[in-house]
Amino acid sequence: MTEKLIQNLLKRKLFIILILGMLVVSGIFSYLVIPKQHFPVVVYPIASVTVIYPGASASDMEELVAKKIEKAVMDLDGFDHTESHSYANACGVSVVLDMDLSQEAVDKSFDDLRDKIEDMKDELPAGVTSVRVDTEVMDTAGMLLTVSSAAAGYDELCQRAGELRDQLEQEEGIQRIDLYGDLTSEIQVRVHTDALNRMNLSLTEIASVIVAANTNIPLGHIDLDGEKITVNTNGELESVEEIGNLIVDVSQPEGLTTRLADIADIGRALPDDEPYFRYNEDPAVLLAVYYKEDLNVVSLGDSIQARLEDFRNHTRADILVSEIFSQQDEVKNSINGFVFVRK
């Protein structure tokens, strides 16, 4: 029986070659178009609720906030359990659903969670300043990029990083891009102590002069030997020079004027209390690129590389765009290792 089958197949060599050719072509086609991700999409039925309540103790956060949230979410469809952590001024509540839920069911429950938290805001203490629901706590970035420079100012780095994000978001397979370290510089006024004492002026009086000028740029703070006064105003001034030209004192009877720049160092700088990134010791902005589901990461990566190259060609040479991690490279290495490694 087997011999007859083999003989019949041998008589139809052309047919066998045609079948093998079709299998080879279909295999190559599938390799090229099949979705490839190093970190495939997995349903993560976990959300977090973060509440900020300045001045509250850890016990107050637990009793007045965390327990109320835990009670409110217990009737969510697919609810499994909650975990809460309370600290002074803040608390976090993790809401965990049944691990067997579909993505559609999880999305519906998370929509209900947002509605419940929104409805219960009136039940929370009046001093609560922020309530945030995060349903993407387990997302994994498909690519990490940095925009860095030793020479360019931080404001320009942030501007270029924003431009790069706008260009990359035009790719159909990108879900979103988050920026980290995109800080806005502030104008800092550092007053000379001896000059202030000599003119018998106080730090509060200097701040009042600036407020009266109604500046419309972020001023940050005034610093005198470690003492700081934060200035938040709206108005007319547009540059460091104009702030420096503010008159802070007129001597009597001579009528001599003293400008702010005569008794203080004024300049732009990053906020002292804000974290920022460095890459190879240079100031940097980090871009985390998240991909959509069911896509070919390799093909998308090629399109992203083309956009990165175009961006580099149209940006000053001392601003560098570097890849920290790329899922495309990981997938290529995994596929090539699987296809081409032989004993």
Residue-level pLDDT at 339 = 43
CA atoms 211, 217, 221, 222: torsion sign: negative
Q: Are 207 and 246 in contact (CB under 8 A)?
A: no
In 3-state terms the chain splits into helix, strand, coil percentages (rounded to 5) of 40, 25, 35
Q: What's the CA gap between 260 and 211, in Å, rounded?
A: 13
Residue-level pLDDT at 215 = 47
8-state DSSP, 292: P
Beta bridge partners of 258: 249
Q: Provide the residue-wise pLDDT of the chain in tens; the chain has 343 residues.
A: 666 666 666 666 676 677 777 888 777 766 665 554 444 555 678 888 989 887 788 899 999 999 999 999 999 999 999 999 888 778 889 899 998 888 889 889 999 999 999 999 889 998 888 898 888 755 667 788 999 998 888 788 889 999 999 999 998 888 889 888 777 667 778 888 888 788 888 777 777 777 766 544 455 555 655 555 555 555 566 677 878 888 877 777 777 888 888 888 887 776 655 556 788 888 888 888 888 776 666 677 788 899 999 999 999 999 999 988 777 655 455 445 444 444 4
Residue-level pLDDT at 58 = 85
Outline where DSSP puts E strands in 173-303. 174-180, 186-191, 221-224, 227-230, 247-250, 257-259, 264-269, 277-279, 282-291
Residue-level pLDDT at 11 = 66
Q: What's the CA gap between 147 and 158, in Å, rounded?
A: 8
In the 3-class helix/strand/coil scheme, how is 176-208 assigned residue by residue? EEEEECCCCCEEEEEECHHHHHHCCCCHHHHHH
Entry pTM: 0.50
The residue among 57, 76, 55, 78 whose CA lies nearest residue 66 is: 57
Q: Measured in Å, how far apart are the chain's first and last C-alpha atoms?
A: 35
Q: What's the CA gap between 136 and 144, in Å, rounded?
A: 17
Residue-level pLDDT at 342 = 42
Place of tokens 């970035």: 141
The letter for the amino acid at 73 is V
Q: What's the CA gap between 85 and 193, in Å, rounded?
A: 45
Residue-level pLDDT at 311 = 94
Query: Which pair of structure tokens corresponds to residue 48?
Result: 């977090």
For residue 54, cis peptide bond before it (omega within 30 degrees of 0):
no
Residue-level pLDDT at 138 = 57
Residue-level pLDDT at 65 = 93
Q: What's the CA gap between 182 and 333, in Å, rounded?
A: 32
Q: What's the CA gap between 300 and 323, in Å, rounded?
A: 15
Residue-level pLDDT at 277 = 75
The letter for the amino acid at 38 is H
Q: Is 107 exposed, middle or buried (0-12, 13-18, 19+ CB in 10 A)?
A: middle
Alpha-carbon distances of 296 from 35, 114, 178, 299, rounded to whole Å: 4, 32, 21, 6
Residue-level pLDDT at 235 = 56
R_g of the chain computed on alpha carbons = 30
Q: Are 209 and 222 in contact (CB under 8 A)?
A: no
- For 217, phi then psi, to 5°, come to -120, 155
